[in-house]
Amino acid sequence: MNLPGLITTETLLGKCYPSKKWVIEYKEITDVKFSVSFQSILNISKLVPVYYIQHQFQVNIDDESIITPVLDGYDYEPYTKEQEKFRDGIRDSLFKIGYSELSVLELDEVIADLEFSKDVKIFGPQVTVEHALFIDILDLCED
């Protein structure tokens, strides 16, 4: 994916994985005592025509009085106009080819009667939509 003026990194390269994932980095905002960076993560399922976008920010503060010099967070709604423009462009493009966007609520839905095997402890026993469509829950992919 090539987006003018943005740094785009495809992750999970060379691996068997049920989704394709890109990290989009936007221009950093800097001041004397702080800097703010923004990213968007686009994750497209290879199993069914669905995707989701997660927007992130990170504030780095250069001040000795601060206990934690990094403030960060994420949401499914954009923080900046650039993120909004990216989201709208992706929505339009993927909608035209039959893809649907999943919300955070849909990603967290538990799939009834489907559980991880007893030896999988990292996620807990319940399989969510995100696990099933975007993560290698059956450990079929290369390490």
In terms of residue numbers, what domain contains 80? 7-107
Please count the structural domains in the chain.
Answer: 1
Structural domain includes residue 84: yes
Structural domain includes residue 14: yes
Structural domain includes residue 64: yes
**Predicted confidence (pLDDT) per residue in 17-49, tens digit:** 788 889 999 999 999 889 999 999 999 998 899
Structural domain includes residue 53: yes
Beta-strand relationship, 100-101 and 50-61: parallel
**Predicted confidence (pLDDT) per residue in 53-109, tens digit:** 999 999 999 888 989 899 999 999 999 999 999 999 999 999 999 999 998 889 888
How many C-alpha atoms does 99 have within 13 Å on its Cβ side?
A: 19
The C-alpha atoms of residue 93 and residue 109 are separated, in whole angstroms, by: 26
pTM of the model: 0.78
Where does 13-143 have alpha helices with state H? 81-96, 104-107, 129-134
Structural domain includes residue 140: no
Quick check: 59 and 35 in contact, CB under 8 A?
A: yes
